[in-house]
Chains A and B, each alone.
Chain A
């Protein structure tokens, strides 16, 4: 069964590049432009196996969106730098499974996605 990845990022380049590469790797890909758009799509019936979510986007802060996405695996994409303690804290959410620093190597991202969802 084809796994679905949702890419949530306000940067169109990131969404498009990640979508293209992940689709070539055999995943179905849905995109969202921010946390609100992501939530809307999930509530409308999208069931991603993994959400790759930018930690800083316009709209409702991601920290407020995450609790509403229970049961869905989420990996943060972060352009901002945090301390090690802050990173550990951000990873405490039960559905948070990874923290990926930007800029990322797209091939490494695909490898991480494969490891998480198969």
Chain B
């Protein structure tokens, strides 16, 4: 079993490669292990409301989770830019805006940044831009005591991307289908 919290004590930035079959379950399970901690959750494949709904159904306390939602403004009308719970990005390819928002959060104190997921980042942005964004975000995280966790889907098609991203993080953990977190 992987103890993510322990891993993050010695590795500031981790890439978690998760098989697609258990991705939904495992990506939420991590939040259970970080229950009570301050979390900023960047979502590139679910609306913030979808994540909240799923976590609450699983009995996970979401009080300390703030979201950066890259989806909602694209698919529906969202009047606000920001609420207490969520910052709404204009578009999933707005990496400069995303970078600035993360920087602002980093100024406000320590937290666990969860990035769900690099696979989606690479679907919506070219590899050059995506890699530059990850490098710059990592550099910003390293100036603080915050921790970063990137999710990625593992599998034949995405493994070369995972190898590429691995060069930019402190540790890559491959979740096995039958073990999980």
CB neighbours of A90 from chain B (8 A):
75-76
Total inter-chain residue pairs, C-beta < 8 Å: 45
State how many residues of chain A have any CB contact under 8 Å with chain B.
Answer: 16
The A-contacting residues of B in range 1-24, CB under 8 angstroms, are none
What 0/1 readout, one digit per residue, does chain B (46-66) give for beta carbons within 8 Å of chain A? 110110111000000000000
Whole-angstrom distance from the CB of A103 to the nearest CB of chain B? 9
Whole-angstrom distance from the CB of A90 to the nearest CB of chain B? 7
B77 at the interface (CB under 8 A from A): yes
A61 at the interface (CB under 8 A from B): yes
B158 at the interface (CB under 8 A from A): no
| Cβ–Cβ contact B77 & A63, under 8 A | yes
CB neighbours of B76 from chain A (8 A):
63, 86, 89-90
| Cβ–Cβ contact B92 & A83, under 8 A | no
What 0/1 readout, one digit per residue, does chain B (70-85) give for beta carbons within 8 Å of chain A? 0100111100000000
CB neighbours of A62 from chain B (8 A):
74-75
CA of A56 to CA of B50, assembled, Å: 16
> Which of A62, A80, A85, A90 neighbours the largest number of chain B CB atoms within 10 Å of its CB?
A80
| Cβ–Cβ contact A56 & B92, under 8 A | yes
| Cβ–Cβ contact B47 & A56, under 8 A | no
A38 at the interface (CB under 8 A from B): no
A79 at the interface (CB under 8 A from B): yes
| Cβ–Cβ contact A81 & B75, under 8 A | no
A84 at the interface (CB under 8 A from B): yes
CB neighbours of A75 from chain B (8 A):
none
Which 7 pairs of residues, A with B, have the shortest CB-CB distance?
Answer: A83-B49, A81-B46, A83-B53, A81-B50, A83-B50, A80-B71, A82-B47
A/B interface sample: 10 pairs, CB < 8 A = A56-B74, A79-B45, A80-B47, A80-B50, A81-B50, A82-B46, A84-B53, A85-B49, A90-B75, A90-B76
